Amino acid sequence: MGYILILVGTVLVNNIVLSQFMGICAFLGVSKQMKSSVGMGAAVIFVMVCAAVITYPIYKLLEHFEITYLKTVAFILVIAMFVQMVEMIIKKLMPPLYKALGIYLPLITTNCAVLGVTITNVDESYNIAQSVVNAFGTGVGFTLALLLFSGVRSRINDSKLPETFKGVPATLIAASIVSLSFMGFSGLI
């Protein structure tokens, strides 16, 4: 039950992009097309789950030496290294997966959304299973936000807008409205 609550909470209630405002850069950058948002979403889910698994022992290590205040630096270092390594491995062993995720993987190595998940795991003192569920849910939430917003954006592109609102301003306003709509989930759990 606890896992389901974490899932629902991260996907809908505390959606990483629309409620916590993390990963906005990737959110605005890749939501232009449905296809690329799916690729990006898959890469984010993958990296987040990996990051949750790998930062868990690292945090235990930091706790052991009582230097948990350095967790941000340690996490960034470890995640970046790990993703680079995984990229090389799947390039060699799984070329189709590399083609699907390829361009997006390096884009998100140091994304704040990925770091945000690991910090949340630590703050909520989740165990390893809960951390993985939390990371997975957050990734799914990110993908959901991307997919929904790519639909909104294709509508924006088709509509007649005043010259001053074209491009980024309209996109940001639309993003805030989508974000507002997600506030409706706040009473869910």
Partner 1 sequence: MQYLIPVLLFAALGVLAGVLLTVCSKVFAVKVDERLEQLQEALPQINCGSCGYSGCNAYADAILNEGAPLNMCKPGGAESAGKLSEIMGVETEHPEQEVAFVRCSGNCNVTQHKYVYDGSQSCRASNRYYNGSKVCTSGCLGYGDCVEVCPSGAISIVDRIAKVDKNKCVGCGLCAKACPNSLIVIRRKSQKVDVGCKSTAIGKITHSVCENGCIGCRMCEKKCPNGAIKVENNFANIDYSKCDGCGQCAQACRLGVIKLT
Q: How far, in Å, are 38, 145, 180 from residue 157 at the CA level? A: 19, 18, 21
- For 138, the enclosing helix (H) or strand (E) is helix 128-158
Beta carbon of residue 143, minimum distance to partner 1 (angstroms, whole number): 23
The residue (of 84 and 176) whose beta carbon lies closer to partner 1 is 84
Q: Contact between 35 and partner 1 (CB under 8 A)?
A: no
The residue (of 44 and 90) whose beta carbon lies closer to partner 1 is 90
Beta carbon of residue 113, minimum distance to partner 1 (angstroms, whole number): 22
How many other CB atoms are found less than 10 A from the CB of residue 143?
Answer: 21
**Where in 52-91 is the site for partner 1 (CB under 8 A)?**
61, 65, 67, 70, 73-74, 77-78, 81, 84-85, 88-89, 91
Tokens in use for 146? 């991307």
Q: Contact between 174 and partner 1 (CB under 8 A)?
A: no
User: What sign has the CA pseudo-torsion 33, 35, 36, 37?
Assistant: positive
What is the C-alpha to C-alpha distance for residues 75 and 168, in angstroms, rounded to an integer? 32
Beta carbon of residue 66, minimum distance to partner 1 (angstroms, whole number): 8
Sequence-separated (6 or more) residues with CB below 8 Å from residue 174: 149, 152, 153, 156
Q: Contact between 158 and partner 1 (CB under 8 A)?
A: yes
The residue (of 33 and 84) whose beta carbon lies closer to partner 1 is 84
How many other CB atoms are found less than 10 A from the CB of residue 71?
Answer: 18
- At 47 the three-state DSSP class reads helix
Which of 1, 35, 125, 159 touches partner 1 by CB under 8 A?
159
| Chain positions contacting partner 1, by CB under 8 A | 61, 65, 67, 70, 73-74, 77-78, 81, 84-85, 88-89, 91-93, 158-160
